[in-house]
Amino acid sequence: MTPMQAERHSALVRLLIAMAGDGELVVTFSGGVDSALVLAAAVSGLGDRAVALTAVSPTLPIEETEAAIALARELGARHELVDAHELDNEAYAANTGDRCYHCKTELFSLAAQAARARGGAPVVDGTIVDDLSGHRPGLKAAQEHGVRHPLVEAGYTKQEVRETARALGIRAWDKPSFACLGSRFAPGTRVTLDRLLRIARVETTLRQEGFRQFRVRFHALPATLPGAVDEEHARIELDPSEIPKMVEPGVRERVVNAGRAQGFRRISLDLEGYGARPA
């Protein structure tokens, strides 16, 4: 770790200690690199007074939950899992453009309950400076629940988070970005448990095939002829560097079969790649 990185990390630790005061601190922990850096700093400064909280729901693949459990253990953190029920919220399921707000509202409500059980402990998350631009409904939910963003207060960008996490030996330093499975549905497309599970199963196949940065987007294509049924389409986005892997022997066939098994009539590969444009 460079002297500058060490000083900034020390400042982050001091900030978290100050936030906690004499009590505990609740860290909403997804298992991604941002919240992992916050948790590592919190454990460093607060020990057992730092509590990681991970929400478990159908919108989070089981592989992500398992990874978060393993990482929290590696960081030496107290870790609690709580059941989230955002899918029961019609405003979330309707997916009219503010889905993320309702998802984060559920998360931060659960975190607030955990905080109250600890005498009003502050709640922090892994928001970074990069997250402050663009349309971020989740930030409104954080503000409404008094959630603080220590990485923003300390001025961390994504690159700086990854560099510091790598220097600290945090395994998730290069983990690809991940968003809840609800993000696979364009606004106006209803989010249901069945659709989430089917998308998750196709993404599991991609993970098993060795892909790292991917999304499987769900599209409902309305029937155009009388008597025809609507078609459901799975559009796969990969990091551009991983697109050639899809045509390796057997890979394309296994991915297509996985999509067919989940009832998708069409399984396509987006040649622009992941991150080229909004869903």
Asked if residue 182 belongs to a domain, the reply is: no
Q: Are residues 154 and 202 in the same domain?
A: no
Which stretches in the chain have pLDDT values below 70? 223-229, 277-279
Enter the tokens of residue 190: 């209803």
Q: Are residues 136 and 227 in the same domain?
A: no
Asked if residue 86 belongs to a domain, the reply is: yes
Asked if residue 279 belongs to a domain, the reply is: no
Q: Are residues 154 and 21 in the same domain?
A: yes
Q: What is the mean pLDDT of the chain?
A: 94
Q: Are residues 28 and 71 in the same domain?
A: yes
Enter the tokens of residue 92: 């979330």
pLDDT at residue 276, as a whole number: 72
pLDDT at residue 225, as a whole number: 60
Domain range holding 257? 192-269
Q: Are residues 62 and 144 in the same domain?
A: yes
Q: Are residues 16 and 107 in the same domain?
A: yes
Q: Are residues 22 and 140 in the same domain?
A: yes
Residue 131 CA to residue 24 CA, distance in Å, equals 26
Q: Are residues 41 and 149 in the same domain?
A: yes
Q: Name the percent of the chain in helix, strand, coil, to the closest 5.
A: 50, 15, 35
pLDDT in tens, 158-183: 999 999 999 999 999 999 988 899 99
pLDDT at residue 224, as a whole number: 62
Q: Assign 51 to helix, strand or coil.
A: strand
- Boundary (domain end) residue, out of 125, 148, 174: 174
Domain count, the chain: 2
Q: Are residues 115 and 253 in the same domain?
A: no
Asked if residue 81 belongs to a domain, the reply is: yes
Residue 161 CA to residue 152 CA, distance in Å, equals 11
Q: Are residues 25 and 157 in the same domain?
A: yes
Who contacts 31 (Cβ-Cβ below 8 Å, separation ≥6)? 54, 64, 65, 67, 68, 71, 72, 172, 175
pLDDT at residue 275, as a whole number: 80
pLDDT in tens, 178-201: 889 999 999 999 999 999 999 999
